[in-house]
Structure 1
Amino acid sequence: MDGMTDEATTPILTVEGAIATIRLNRPRVHNRIEPADLLALSGHLAAIEADAGIRVAILTGTGKSFSSGYHLGDLAARPGAEVTARADGPSFEGVATQLENLRVPVICRLNGGVYGGSTDLALCCDFRIGVDTAEMMMPAAKLGVHYYPSGMLRYVSRLGLNAAKKLFLTAETIKAPEMLAIGYLTEMLPAEALDARVRALAERIAAMAPLAVQGIKRSLNEIARQDFDEAGALARANASQASEDLKEGLAAFREKRAPVFHGR
């Protein structure tokens, strides 16, 4: 999945059945994210959102690193690059929010190190499956950057205040076992087991009832942000109880067979 290509490109989207994969593709600069990549990422996320046949997405990188973060040259030339959109593309924060709010669950396949803003992109995903040689660092304070609000909120809500303070206020690099211990990694695996595990998880999620999965994801993210729309969650729960998917799930349970869901 992470084979090198002849030249760097903007992120690549592939769709195989119900599974979409977005791959960052600048391996020689450790998949550094350029302004053009934000535009491409936003377009890919919009395409996934609009395709009802897609039930799960994977975000990964080409080569030995997941991503070295946002291009510092653009940040130096345009200090608002993280939070302010430009005429030819969105802001980094905007793409992160779009990723977090994606209709379908997202698995981050962490094939290597993850640094800077890309640590937040991974936190926007619902699962982070990483190799046991991975590491992470958040250098914002070391560079003089006060991080954008939604990114700090994700850090605290996903990892807890103590872990967020350590990562933001010390800019220390932590290794995969500590990433697992603080909850940054959902699972830690040897490199040779990564693809099989990510694929198995994606297929498991894709086989579940999409209305229920997508509704529950939305509600859980709202709870984590402390902006839970209880009325909206209740409406989604009522809709699921009236769905054909629920009838199919109960029938499959009675008949001791795998259910076939259609998202309606």
Structure 2
Amino acid sequence: MSAVQETVTTAPGLPEFTIQGACARIRLNRERYLNRIEPDDVPALLEMLERAQDDPAIRVLVLTGTGRVFSSGYHLGDLAERRAALDTQPAGEPEPPQATSPFDVLLERLENLRVPTICRLNGSVYGGATDLALCCDFRIGEEGIEMFMPASRLGLHYYRSGMVRYVSRLGVNAAKKLFLTSQTIKAPEMLRVGYLTEMVPAGGLDAEVERLAGVLAGQAPLAVAGMKQAINELARGELDADALDARHAASLRSEDIREGVTAWHERRKPVFQGR
């Protein structure tokens, strides 16, 4: 993926955003705090995702962190603020419906991004950051990393969308172990339960991420975006069958399928234009 790199400048500590060829990269940038995600990070990350969503030249996005840990999670001060808000509610009144937090919005936007996403787990991952990584389509990490979800240890009932993601992507047994015990699991088990899509030896992370990013960037973008949407909907039990059928029919009329079939017969690499 050799091309001129464009870097979007942000304030110190905020995530970094770069574009190189067809690949956009987001890097969490609070190494001193183990890349803890702060409230100020969320609008910056949302803006970066919008940039990746709207730029047709971008075909894949890589999310990673700085230093030895991918992220220690979302800041716990948010829990204290929400608890304080409930404490001010008059006695006897029904609890208000749970409001969608900005972090929830971020996770949903990442999960449903048009382009395929790779989480480059530069290190271990904890708390809400485990869900951030789970929103990505692929998660690649080295064999020495670990993860844990401390919700039950904190007394927190996790939010709905996160539980749906864990169960639909990892299965009931893995979700129960992670949520109900707050136990740390190591990379081999992360791979076994499907949290990691690839586990690589120490020193092999960048090569595998670049390889996969190159593969994804070379696929037909309209087909990839449509099938990603369908797979996510199927996993959540929310399939819009009519929309899937419409995308299938549109692909049969696209220039991409003409190029793909021609390249197949000519035994060359296709060059897709996304139309």
TM-score (norm. length: structure 2): 0.89
Aligned-partner Cα distance in 1 for 2:271–2:202: 32
**Over residues 149-186 of structure 1, what are the superposed CA-to-partner deviations in whole Å (9 max), with x where a residue is unaligned?**
00000000000011001000000000000000000000
Shift in Å, 1:56: 0.5
Aligned-partner Cα distance in 2 for 1:78–1:53: 40
Other-structure match for 1:250: 261
Other-structure match for 2:212: 201
1:49 aligns with 2:53: yes
Shift in Å, 1:84: 4.1
Shift in Å, 1:39: 1.0
**Aligned residues of 1:84 and 1:91 also touching (Cα < 8 A):** no
Other-structure match for 1:3: none
Aligned-partner Cα distance in 2 for 1:23–1:151: 22
Shift in Å, 1:191: 3.0
Give 1:134's aligned amino acid.
I
SS in structure 2 at match of 1:107 = strand
Shift in Å, 1:94: 0.9
**Over residues 212-254 of structure 1, what are the superposed CA-to-partner deviations in whole Å (9 max), with x where a residue is unaligned?**
1111000000000000011000111111110000000011011
Other-structure match for 2:226: 215
Among 28, 33, 49, the alignment partner of 1:29 is 33
Among 100, 106, 109, the alignment partner of 1:98 is 109
Aligned-partner Cα distance in 1 for 2:142–2:99: 33
Aligned-partner Cα distance in 1 for 2:259–2:53: 24
Other-structure match for 1:138: 149
Aligned-partner Cα distance in 1 for 2:12–2:51: 22
SS in structure 1 at match of 2:141 = strand
Other-structure match for 1:190: 201
Aligned-partner Cα distance in 2 for 1:224–1:131: 27
SS in structure 2 at match of 1:142 = helix
SS in structure 1 at match of 2:233 = helix
Among 120, 140, 160, the alignment partner of 2:171 is 160
Aligned-partner Cα distance in 2 for 1:74–1:65: 21
Give 2:36's aligned amino acid.
R
Among 236, 244, 254, the alignment partner of 1:233 is 244
Give the greater-gyration-radius structure (CA).
2
**Over residues 2-50 of structure 1, what are the superposed CA-to-partner deviations in whole Å (9 max), with x where a residue is unaligned?**
xxxxx95111110011100000001111100000011111111111111
Give 1:129's aligned amino acid.
I
Among 106, 111, 117, the alignment partner of 2:122 is 111
Other-structure match for 2:273: 262
Give 1:158's aligned amino acid.
R
Aligned-partner Cα distance in 2 for 1:140–1:16: 37
Aligned-partner Cα distance in 1 for 2:203–2:79: 36
**Aligned residues of 1:141 and 1:169 also touching (Cα < 8 A):** yes
Aligned-partner Cα distance in 1 for 2:77–2:223: 43
Aligned-partner Cα distance in 1 for 2:103–2:228: 22
Residues 65-80 of structure 1: pairs in structure 2 closer than 5 A: 65-79=69-83
Which aligned segments of 4 or more residues in structure 1 are displaced greater than 4 angstroms?
Answer: none
SS in structure 1 at match of 2:40 = helix
Shift in Å, 1:75: 2.3
Give 1:153's aligned amino acid.
V
1:12 aligns with 2:16: yes
**Aligned residues of 1:107 and 1:127 also touching (Cα < 8 A):** yes
Shift in Å, 1:77: 2.7
Report percent identity of matched pairs: 60
SS in structure 2 at match of 1:108 = strand
Aligned-partner Cα distance in 2 for 1:84–1:102: 22
Give 2:169's aligned amino acid.
R
Query: How many pairs does the alignment contain?
Result: 252
SS in structure 2 at match of 1:42 = helix
Q: Which runs of 5+ in 2 are unaligned?
A: 1-10, 86-97
